[in-house]
């Protein structure tokens, strides 16, 4: 059934309906009264709120509710059925001590007597007696069914007096009993956002606490012993939440801690000997900045849980602009200097990718932008749960803050006025509030979510902190309970089941599993359940706390969509014993008992036969690490979206010394030595040589694309080097490309006068015989007019007029097509015969443009209309590669774009735009990007992307126009600049950011096919079309990422390399890097094939990192050494299909591959030259 399709039957129907306090009996409200000592100006934790926990405290099968209060009393509500509750706090003796400020709450059977106990954390009040946590031990029910509790924290050894957020129970040493971890949050310094040397020796008062359960037989219950320091829980932080999960899959539980402020999150990996080591820097590529709540669950049903943390990035434009700080590249520099991990002001959705083959640790990629869940304002609690029972977990996020202390207008006012002129109470009243609806997102089953907050009925403005879910009425769907500041708690009834019955709609089924663990862990915390049905799977873990300061129903709830039964179920108990059940009907609650478990069981590892094998480059003699001077492009143009100085290294593969072995050249960066030549020896190892090809000792040139080809027809490969970047003044001679003559032995000398004058910042060079005269001509793509983005540099079409012993290229751009000179900001170009007329054509990719197709007529390159799909897709295109992807005898293409996992979202109806000119006539070129953000009502308008501070750093008149940040946040593009000011502006647009494959449908027309979302998680650069699994269909290899993005976006780093398998039916299936063997996690650029020891390899370059090398076994393939004139082959496959293969001189982003072609096994190939004349046939 479509998700909640019946909601349209009546307009007022929603998935959730609020049950008011009169009907439910829940009157709790976390009311906070400010005074001289408790207020947001003096203590930023004043409004951090409190949690809520659910659990069956009286054993009647209904989930009860315990609320924590800050200044108000904690309250316990018994569930009387039918969503009616009775407040019994005093009767149950479950109240906190007068004056305590409670924060988080956990429900757990800590003494394993079959009765649930309550653990309450306390904070804020600077009195050790008030800070002591409370442990309420359940003494059993009275005659009215009300449980009674006895506070026994001291007896159980819980005696610390820290400022505690939340406790969680788990068995870290696998001795069978539950140990205790406490997240601590306390501001111990005036500036918690100041870079300091990290405190990681356990001396900081803000470190968390680990207590070992030491059962005391004389007392008959556990006594907890503080083992924090000896166990390695030693890192300082400001902890809001913690999660327990076996991240590295070694059978031992690990600890994730979400930290506020500058302090990084922590991921303590269990060393299996009673100690932990923080490994987060090796596991997450970046984090949320001020992490609040967190959750972990399998979101995409791949059997591996994913991690989510929330931050404070607003959704609407006004709130963004009053809270956004100016971009500050110094944060990057200090992050590296003080050895912090990168972190950004937004939610993080870290999707599990696999186990890193180099260190055995898990790899995650943050795809919050792609998923559409990056911005939910001042957020507190994320919870994954299947609220519509469709088989995929949805996402609930609570938010709100009574006083927005980080509002820039308030900050400016506070700084401008003397404290003697305004009272404290007046100043507090001037701080704006953030009373906004919570968010709930429906899982769209493709790594994306859709905001259903209004449609599902939870869009009530509030200040909500802790929240929990549970099936409070036992009807088969999950209800929601929240803890609100200054408002009554919300109880949202999930009406899914009753609405389906009422509307006679086909039901979304469910299965709920309750666990009864071993004698010392009756809650079965740490157990995992996996279910299978009709080729699908789900997994869930029994955990103590999730979200923020709260505990949800610990029963494992599985939505099943339209499936009325599951095929099988397996439970994995914490000691790895297991139990399997089969053929289980849906729509019921089942209980799994540890007593029925069988012997220790581990899932058989999937048979992994990766197509590529990672090789250590040093074993091949390739000792290379790319170096890059960190030039800050943003100091010149403050509102650039990304750098242009961080695109290296390029790579060219070819034989430089005539021994018929592949060698390679790698480009160098400004301020470093010249390009690096690796020459292959007969044993398959390489020797290294630095080529002295820079103009002075300063070595300021920056190499971009490189190309090895025989320019002067003397039988050896010469070297062309494109010079680029954004570091030098416009027109600088440092942008002059060079052509280097080879002496036949791999020694290169710059040919003076071999090229025309070039003063534009270049990107790439690609060669082809455009005039069929037997030599190779060049297209040289220029990227940007330096310091004047988004003006395009001057691209060139160069005719080869060389003679033996004298290399000479002539600029013929104007003769062949004047448009080529300023065709756009070229990222890549590809020579390809797209119409099979034996004249090589040209496709160009670039930024803020459509892909452009130029047909070769023999004496001109004529721009053609390749079809509306192509011409209307204005993107930030990065790369092009060719392959016959549908085996129809013509070339199709892979076009790498910027992807969808980024701030700059756009569509045809809501394009991204850039407005550029020297607005204030001060000689600096101003460029401002706009995009569509919602206003406070949710309606989208065109606003400028950057903050007020960033724009006014570039253009001072912004400060004169807008004194207040809120006014700037309300101003659309049309409000900011008048029509007069917009005269003469350079405007470019983009509306399509997806990487695609392009089908050649003949007649000069093409069709775009989006690649799967796994290919959209970062900018795509190097790519290859090759038959990876040897099934006769060309597959796709891709690499990418861009660590040079502007700092509010942060590093685009989600890519780890990707293999897309072609099913032969125009669909591509993404493979995990564990299945493919292809793992390139860094800032990847060029991707080239190379022949080593008569085997095929791929090499990927990464900015500021070593090369990644992969061996590619091709059983039965035949190696063909290509001749200079070989242009393409027609391959007859075993299926009798005809596949075209082109042999390019340079293909994909700053890449050139081997001229040894590996012909598919059991195939026949005819080789043709550029004139369409067959030179030879290769038999199987």
Going by the DSSP 8-state scheme, the letter that residue 635 receives in this structure is G
Q: What is the pLDDT of residue 11?
A: 53
**Cis, peptide link before residue 294, omega less than 30° from 0:** no
pLDDT, one tens digit per residue, over 615-624 is 999 999 999 9
- Name the band, by pLDDT with cuts 50, 70 and 90, for residue 1115: confident
Annotate 842-898 with DSSP letters as a single string.
EEEEEEEE--EEEEE-SS-EEE----HHHHT--EE--EEEEE-SSSBSS-EEEEE--
Return the half-sphere exposure (C-beta side, CA atoms, 13 A cut-off) of residue 644.
31
Question: Picking from 31-45, 457-471, 512-526, 777-791, which range would have the lowest pLDDT averaged per residue?
Answer: 31-45
Q: Give yes or no for residue 8 having a pLDDT over 70.
A: no
Domains of the chain: 312-345+907-991 (no CATH), 510-600 (2.60.40), 612-904+992-1178 (2.130.10.10)
Report whether 374 contacts 397 (CB < 8 A): no
Q: What is the pLDDT of residue 2?
A: 39
How many other CB atoms are there within 10 angstroms of residue 387's CB atom?
32
3-state secondary structure of 361: coil
- Name the band, by pLDDT with cuts 50, 70 and 90, for residue 273: very high
Write 302-306 long-range contacts (CB < 8 A, 24+): 302/352, 303/530, 303/537, 303/539, 304/352, 304/539, 305/245, 305/352, 305/539, 305/541, 306/349, 306/350, 306/351, 306/352, 306/364
Rounded to whole angstroms, the Cα distance separating 24 from 1103 reads 59
Mean per-residue pLDDT over the chain, rounded: 96
Q: Which of 99, 215, 211, 221 lies closest to 150 in space, CA to CA?
A: 221
Q: Give yes or no for residue 191 having a pLDDT over 80.
A: no
Q: Which of 206, 167, 185 lies closest to 45 in space, CA to CA?
A: 185
- Secondary structure string (H, E, C) spanning 988-1046: EEECCCCCEEEEEEECCEEEEEECCHHHCCCCEEEEEEECCCCCCCCEEEEEECECCEC
pLDDT, one tens digit per residue, over 492-521 is 999 999 887 777 666 899 999 999 999 999
Bridge-partner residues for 532, per DSSP?
Answer: 537, 568
Q: Give yes or no for residue 3 having a pLDDT over 50.
A: no
How many other CB atoms are there within 10 angstroms of residue 903's CB atom?
21
Q: Give yes or no for residue 1116 having a pLDDT over 90.
A: no
Report whether 821 contacts 796 (CB < 8 A): yes
Rounded to whole angstroms, the Cα distance separating 796 from 50 reads 64
Higher pLDDT, 1114 or 1092: 1092
pLDDT, one tens digit per residue, over 202-247 is 999 899 999 999 999 999 999 999 999 999 999 999 999 999 999 9
Report whether 208 contacts 184 (CB < 8 A): yes
pLDDT, one tens digit per residue, over 825-849 is 999 999 999 999 999 999 999 999 9
Q: Are strands 509-516 and 464-470 parallel, antiparallel or unpaired?
A: unpaired
Q: Give yes or no for residue 5 having a pLDDT over 70.
A: no
Q: Which two tokens stand for residue 220?
A: 């008959």
The percent of residues in the chain predicted with pLDDT above 70, rounded, is 98
Report whether 351 contacts 365 (CB < 8 A): yes
Rounded to whole angstroms, the Cα distance separating 110 from 155 reads 13
> Which H/E stretch holds residue 1117?
none
Question: Picking from 144-153, 461-470, 506-515, which range would have the lowest pLDDT averaged per residue?
Answer: 506-515
Report whether 842 contacts 864 (CB < 8 A): no
Report whether 1139 contacts 887 (CB < 8 A): yes
Rounded to whole angstroms, the Cα distance separating 1111 from 321 reads 49
Q: What is the pLDDT of residue 45?
A: 94
Q: Which two tokens stand for residue 213?
A: 């359960």
pLDDT, one tens digit per residue, over 374-419 is 999 999 999 999 999 999 999 999 999 999 999 999 999 999 887 7
The percent of residues in the chain predicted with pLDDT above 90, rounded, is 92
Return the half-sphere exposure (C-beta side, CA atoms, 13 A cut-off) of residue 920.
14
Alpha-carbon torsion angle 521, 522, 525, 526, nearest 10: 70
pLDDT, one tens digit per residue, over 323-348 is 999 999 999 999 999 999 999 999 99
> Which H/E stretch holds residue 291?
none
- Tokens 């009996």, located at residue: 25
Rounded to whole angstroms, the Cα distance separating 1035 from 1069 reads 9
Q: Where are the alpha helices (DSSP H) in 280-373?
A: 280-283, 317-323, 330-337, 368-371
The mean pLDDT of 582-597, rounded to a whole number, is 97
- Name the band, by pLDDT with cuts 50, 70 and 90, for residue 186: confident
Report whether 639 contacts 954 (CB < 8 A): yes
Full-prediction pTM beyond 0.95?
yes
The mean pLDDT of 932-938, rounded to a whole number, is 96
Report whether 1020 contacts 896 (CB < 8 A): yes
Q: What is the pLDDT of residue 477?
A: 98
The mean pLDDT of 752-767, rounded to a whole number, is 97
- C-alpha 73: how far from chain center: 41
Q: What is the pLDDT of residue 698?
A: 76
pLDDT, one tens digit per residue, over 1075-1089 is 999 999 999 999 999
Q: Which of 300, 315, 296, 306 lies closest to 443 in space, CA to CA?
A: 300
Q: Is the dihedral of CA 581, 584, 586, 587 positive or negative?
A: negative
- Name the band, by pLDDT with cuts 50, 70 and 90, for residue 6: very low
Q: What is the pLDDT of residue 36?
A: 84
The mean pLDDT of 562-579, rounded to a whole number, is 96
Q: What is the pLDDT of residue 609?
A: 87
873-887 burial: b if 16+ Cβ within 10 Å, else e: bbbbbbbbbbbbbbb
Q: What is the pLDDT of residue 504?
A: 62
- C-alpha 216: how far from chain center: 47
Q: What is the pLDDT of residue 607?
A: 72
Rounded to whole angstroms, the Cα distance separating 821 from 827 reads 14
The mean pLDDT of 1151-1173, rounded to a whole number, is 94
- C-alpha 1166: how far from chain center: 44
């Amino acid at each position: 059934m479509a998700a909640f399709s019946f909601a349209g039957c009546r307009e007022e129907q929603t998935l959730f309906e609020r049950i008011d306090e009169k009907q439910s009996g829940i009157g709790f409200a976390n009311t906070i009264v400010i005074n001289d000592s408790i207020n947001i100006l003096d203590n930023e934790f004043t409004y951090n709120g409190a949690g809520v926990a659910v659990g069956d405290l009286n054993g009647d099968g209904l989930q009860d509710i315990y609320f924590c209060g800050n200044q108000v009393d904690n309250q316990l509500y018994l569930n009387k059925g039918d969503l009616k509750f009775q407040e019994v706090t005093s009767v149950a003796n479950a109240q906190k001590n007068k004056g305590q400020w409670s924060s988080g709450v956990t429900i757990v059977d800590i003494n394993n007597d079959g009765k649930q106990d309550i653990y309450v954390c306390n904070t804020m009040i600077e009195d050790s007696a008030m800070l002591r946590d409370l442990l309420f031990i359940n003494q059993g029910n009275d005659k009215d069914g009300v449980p009674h509790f006895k506070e026994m924290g001291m007896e159980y050894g819980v005696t610390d007096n820290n400022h505690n957020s939340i406790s969680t129970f788990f068995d870290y040493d696998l001795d069978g009993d539950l140990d205790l971890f406490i997240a601590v949050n306390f501001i111990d310094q005036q500036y918690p956002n100041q870079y300091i040397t990290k405190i990681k020796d356990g001396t900081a008062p803000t470190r968390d606490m680990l207590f070992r359960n030491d059962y005391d037989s004389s007392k008959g219950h556990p006594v907890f012993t503080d083992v924090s320091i000896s166990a390695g829980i030693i890192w300082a932080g400001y902890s809001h939440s913690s999660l327990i999960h076996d991240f590295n899959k070694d059978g031992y539980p690990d600890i994730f801690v979400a930290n506020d402020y500058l302090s990084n999150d922590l991921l303590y990996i269990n060393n299996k000997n009673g100690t932990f080591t923080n490994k987060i820097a090796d596991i997450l590529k970046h984090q949320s900045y001020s992490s609040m709540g967190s959750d972990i669950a399998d979101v995409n049903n791949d059997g591996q849980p994913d991690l989510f943390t929330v931050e404070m990035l607003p959704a609407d434009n006004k709130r963004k602009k009053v809270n956004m700080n100016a971009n500050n590249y110094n944060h990057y520099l200090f992050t590296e200097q003080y050895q912090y991990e990168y972190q950004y002001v937004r939610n993080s959705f870290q999707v599990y990718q696999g186990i890193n083959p180099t260190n055995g640790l898990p790899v995650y990629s943050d795809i919050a932008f792609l998923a559409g869940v990056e911005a939910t304002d001042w957020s507190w609690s994320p919870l994954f749960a299947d609220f519509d029972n469709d088989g995929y977990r949805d996402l609930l996020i609570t938010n709100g803050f009574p006083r927005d202390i980080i509002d820039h207008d308030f900050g400016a006012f506070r700084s401008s006025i003397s404290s003697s002129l305004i009272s404290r109470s007046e100043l507090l009243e001037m701080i704006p509030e953030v009373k906004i609806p919570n968010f709930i997102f429906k899982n769209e089953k493709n790594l994306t979510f859709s905001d259903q907050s209004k449609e599902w009925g939870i869009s009530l403005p509030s200040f909500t902190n802790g929240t929990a879910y549970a099936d409070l009425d036992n009807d088969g769907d999950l209800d929601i309970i929240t803890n609100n500041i200054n408002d009554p708690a919300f109880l949202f009834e999930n009406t899914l089941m009753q609405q389906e019955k009422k509307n006679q709609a086909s039901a979304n089924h469910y299965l709920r599993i309750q666990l009864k663990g071993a004698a010392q862990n009756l809650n079965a915390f740490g157990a995992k359940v996996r279910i299978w049905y009709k080729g699908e799977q789900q997994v869930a873990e029994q955990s103590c706390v999730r979200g923020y300061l709260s505990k949800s129903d610990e029963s494992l709830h599985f939505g099943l969509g339209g499936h009325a039964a599951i095929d099988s179920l397996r439970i994995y108990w914490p000691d790895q014993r297991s139990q399997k059940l089969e053929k289980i009907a849906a729509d019921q609650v089942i209980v799994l008992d540890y007593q029925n478990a069988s012997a220790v069981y581990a899932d058989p590892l999937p048979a992994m036969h990766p197509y590529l094998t990672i090789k250590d480059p040093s074993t091949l003699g390739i000792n290379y690490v790319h170096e890059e001077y960190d030039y800050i492009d943003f100091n010149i143009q403050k509102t650039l979206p990304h750098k242009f100085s961080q695109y290296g290294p390029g790579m060219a593969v070819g034989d430089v010394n005539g021994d018929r072995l592949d060698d390679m050249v790698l480009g160098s960066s400004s301020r470093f030595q010249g390009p690096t030549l690796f020459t292959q020896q007969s044993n398959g190892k390489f020797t290294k040589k630095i080529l002295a090809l820079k103009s002075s000792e300063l070595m300021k040139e920056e190499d971009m694309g490189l190309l090895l080809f025989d320019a002067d027809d003397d039988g050896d490969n010469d070297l062309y080097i494109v010079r680029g970047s954004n570091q030098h003044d416009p027109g600088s001679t440092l942008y002059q490309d060079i052509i280097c003559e080879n002496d036949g032995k791999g020694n290169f000398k710059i040919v003076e006068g071999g090229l025309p004058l070039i003063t534009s910042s270049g990107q790439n060079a690609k060669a082809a015989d455009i005039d069929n005269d037997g030599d190779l001509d060049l297209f040289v793509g220029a990227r940007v007019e330096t310091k004047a983005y988004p003006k395009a540099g001057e691209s060139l079409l160069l005719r080869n007029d060389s003679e033996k012993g004298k290399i000479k290229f002539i600029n013929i751009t104007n003769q062949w097509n004047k448009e080529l000179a300023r065709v756009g900001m070229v990222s890549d170009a590809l020579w390809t015969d797209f119409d099979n007329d034996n004249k090589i054509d040209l496709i160009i990719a670039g930024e803020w443009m459509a892909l452009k197709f130029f047909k070769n007529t023999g004496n001109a390159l004529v721009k053609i209309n390749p079809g509306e799909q192509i011409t209307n897709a204005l993107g930030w295109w990065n790369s092009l590669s060719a392959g016959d992807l549908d085996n129809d005898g013509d070339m199709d293409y892979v076009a790498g774009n910027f992807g969808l996992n980024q701030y700059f979202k756009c569509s045809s109806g809501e394009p991204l735009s850039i407005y550029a000119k020297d607005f204030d006539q001060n000689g600096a070129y101003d460029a401002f990007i706009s995009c569509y953000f919602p206003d406070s009502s949710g309606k989208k308008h065109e606003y400028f992307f950057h903050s007020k501070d960033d724009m006014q750093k570039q253009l001072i008149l912004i400060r004169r126009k807008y004194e207040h940040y809120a006014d700037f946040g309300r101003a659309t593009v049309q409000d900011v600049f008048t029509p007069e000011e917009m005269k003469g502006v350079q405007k470019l647009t983009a509306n399509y950011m997806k990487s695609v494959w392009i089908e050649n449908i003949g007649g000069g027309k093409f069709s775009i096919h989006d690649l799967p979302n796994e290919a959209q998680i970062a900018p795509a650069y190097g790519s290859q079309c090759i038959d990876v699994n040897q099934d006769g269909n060309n597959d796709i290899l891709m690499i990418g990422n861009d660590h040079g993005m502007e700092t509010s976006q942060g590093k685009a780093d989600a890519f780890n390399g990707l293999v897309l398998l072609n099913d032969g039916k125009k669909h591509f299936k993404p493979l995990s890097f564990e299945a493919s063997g292809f793992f390139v996690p860094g800032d990847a650029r060029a991707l080239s094939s190379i022949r080593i020891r008569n085997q095929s390899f791929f090499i990927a370059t990464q900015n500021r990192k070593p090369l990644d090398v992969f061996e590619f076994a091709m059983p039965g393939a035949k190696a063909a050494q290509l001749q200079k004139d070989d242009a393409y082959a027609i391959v007859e496959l075993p299926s009798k299909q005809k596949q075209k293969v082109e042999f390019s001189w340079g293909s994909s982003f700053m890449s050139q591959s081997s001229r040894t072609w590996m012909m598919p096994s059991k195939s026949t190939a005819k080789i043709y030259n550029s004139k369409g004349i067959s030179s030879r046939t290769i038999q199987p």
